[in-house]
């Protein structure tokens, strides 16, 4: 039945579908227009896990500012993950460091059955396949523990290198670097911890929303994580840091503005810039800059890191200036991915693994949101507006 108040109001403006009002009515569309494209500004859940203040550029995770959590507190990734899981589930967590160590070992034990999955050329495809095959039916902690094992084993298998057995006595971050065959000094572990803590949760981002939608149907934890991984893979979400490094490489010796103009002219977006929520610079960019400076001071290679940082800032400023000319109505600033790229590069993590490395940290938030959603007992099922043809 067509309700007057929900009829599309006569207006010459175009709708989401690109059709005008009379065209829509001819096809039978009769509901109010979609509230906001991409659900922008729509609140879909109450959460105790994190708060994103897009106007002031502030991120609070489990009640603590992200920069404090990442750079000043010593609880590490396991401590923050435990806090998130407690908030999500409402129950105390076991000793997470020990539990994750055992989970890594258990995941390593099933790698023999995941040969095909590990060898998939794209690291995110490989991770998704490993999770759905190797962790099917598993618990939240088993999945959180398995992710770095799958990422590292996939990278080494694809490179034709022997796999490295996890060491359950190490922290999650140290063991990840070790399993990749990378140096794992205290400074480097601290830098990776700062990264994972900072990205551990971030409101209702697309992958977290995907996980919550699946959780709301009563499905199992591995299915929720699989949905989240699929969403994270996209270049508009977690797939940006690799292309950010490509951009920094491409502009290394030239004027970044000319390169950026050519990208926009070709209809492409500038990776690492812009955000759905932040109208100012993403606060996580500053956390990563500080983590990089600290890494440079503590672990050598300071000249290299300083030069890369200085170049990244040049590109960032050029991109922000250019985009502000093109979009004066929408402030576009550096987002989390811009300096993620530099931090992970400084740790020698291959750029093909950047999104998968992001997933390891964000998995803590996903799991907490899954529990939080389950406790609401409510199915997430919005409505759509039909704009197609009706039967004669
Ligand atoms: N480069 C060029 N233009 C951009 C842009 C970017 N990085 N980010 C936004 N814009 C433009 C869009 O083209 C759009 O212009 P239009 O209205 O003329 O089409 C306008 O700004 C608004 O963009 P929209 O996609 O509607 O906003 P959003 O809030 O949905 O976008 C992102 C948020 C993150 C998807 C977007 O900023 C983006 O694509 N960034 C690059 C990818 C990236 O870094 N992703 C990681 C996010 S953490």
**Rounded Cα distance, 140 and 364, in Å:** 9
Cα 18 to ligand 1 centre (Å): 19
Cα 247 to ligand 1 centre (Å): 16
Question: Of 172, 202, 237, 275, which is the active-site residue?
Answer: 275
Low-confidence ranges of the chain (pLDDT < 50): 1-28
175 lines ligand 1 (CB under 6 A): no
- How many other C-beta atoms lie within 10 A of the C-beta of residue 134? 25
Cα 273 to ligand 1 centre (Å): 7
236 lines ligand 1 (CB under 6 A): yes
Cα 209 to ligand 1 centre (Å): 19
126 lines ligand 1 (CB under 6 A): no
- Residue 53 phi, psi dihedral angles, 5° rounding: -105, 100
**Rounded Cα distance, 301 and 384, in Å:** 53
- Give the helix ranges, DSSP H, for 200-329: 206-216, 221-233, 241-250, 256-265, 283-299, 302-326
256 lines ligand 1 (CB under 6 A): no
Terminal Cα distance for the chain, rounded:
16
> Does 55 participate in catalysis according to the annotation?
no
52 lines ligand 1 (CB under 6 A): no
327 lines ligand 1 (CB under 6 A): yes
Whole-number pLDDT of residue 30:
54
Instruction: Check: CB of residue 65 under 8 Å from CB of residue 107.
Output: no
Residue nearest to atom 14 of ligand 1 (CA): 327
Cα 348 to ligand 1 centre (Å): 29
Residue nearest to atom 4 of ligand 1 (CA): 269
Question: Of 337, 345, 369, 372, which is the active-site residue?
Answer: 337
270 lines ligand 1 (CB under 6 A): yes
Name the residue among 351, 328, 331 with its Cα closest to residue 341: 351
Cα 269 to ligand 1 centre (Å): 7
322 lines ligand 1 (CB under 6 A): no
Pair of tokens at residue 392: 């004669």
C-alpha separations of 298 from 73, 295, 305 in Å? 17, 5, 12
> Does 116 participate in catalysis according to the annotation?
no
24 lines ligand 1 (CB under 6 A): no
Residue nearest to atom 16 of ligand 1 (CA): 327
At 65, which helix (H) or strand (E)? strand 64-65
Cα 272 to ligand 1 centre (Å): 10
| Closest ligand 1 atom, residue 205 Cα | 48
Residue nearest to atom 28 of ligand 1 (CA): 276
Whole-number pLDDT of residue 295:
94
Whole-number pLDDT of residue 390:
96
């Amino acid at each position: 039945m067509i309700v007057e108040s929900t009829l599309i109001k006569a207006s010459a403006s175009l709708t989401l579908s690109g059709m005008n009002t009379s065209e829509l009515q001819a096809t039978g569309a009769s509901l109010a227009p979609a509230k906001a494209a991409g659900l922008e500004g729509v609140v879909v859940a109450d959460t105790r896990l994190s708060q994103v203040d897009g106007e002031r550029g502030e991120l609070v995770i489990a009640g603590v500012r992200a920069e404090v959590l990442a750079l000043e507190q010593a609880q590490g990734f396991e401590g923050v993950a435990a806090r998130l899981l407690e908030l999500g589930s409402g129950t105390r967590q076991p000793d997470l460091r020990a539990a994750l160590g055992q989970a890594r070992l258990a995941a390593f034990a099933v790698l023999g059955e995941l040969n095909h999955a590990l060898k998939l050329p794209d690291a995110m495809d490989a991770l998704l396949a490993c999770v759905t095959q190797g962790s099917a039916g598993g618990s939240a902690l088993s999945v959180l523990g398995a992710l770095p094992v799958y990422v590292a084993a996939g990278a080494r298998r694809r490179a034709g290198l022997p796999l490295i057995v996890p060491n359950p006595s190490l922290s999650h971050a140290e063991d990840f670097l070790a399993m990749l065959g990378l140096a794992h000094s205290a400074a480097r572990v601290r830098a990776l911890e700062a990264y994972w803590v900072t990205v551990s949760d971030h409101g209702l981002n697309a992958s977290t929303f995907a996980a919550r939608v699946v959780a709301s149907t009563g499905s199992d934890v591995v299915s929720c994580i699989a949905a989240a991984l699929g969403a994270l893979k996209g270049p508009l979400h977690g797939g940006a840091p690799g292309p950010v490094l490509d951009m920094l490489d491409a502009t290394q010796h030239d004027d970044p503005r000319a390169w950026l103009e050519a990208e926009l002219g070709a209809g492409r977006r500038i990776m690492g810039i812009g955000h759905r929520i932040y109208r100012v610079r993403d606060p996580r960019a500053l956390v990563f800059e500080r983590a990089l400076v600290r890494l440079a001071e503590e672990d050598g290679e300071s000249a290299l890191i300083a030069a890369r940082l200085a170049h990244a800032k040049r590109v960032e400023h050029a991109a922000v200036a250019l985009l502000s000319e093109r979009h004066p109505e929408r402030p576009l600033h550096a987002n989390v991915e811009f300096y993620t790229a530099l931090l992970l590069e400084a740790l020698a993590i291959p750029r093909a693994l950047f999104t998968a490395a992001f997933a390891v940290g964000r998995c803590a938030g996903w799991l907490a949101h899954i529990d939080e959603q389950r406790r609401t007992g409510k199915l997430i099922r919005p409505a759509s507006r039909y704009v197609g043809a009706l039967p004669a």
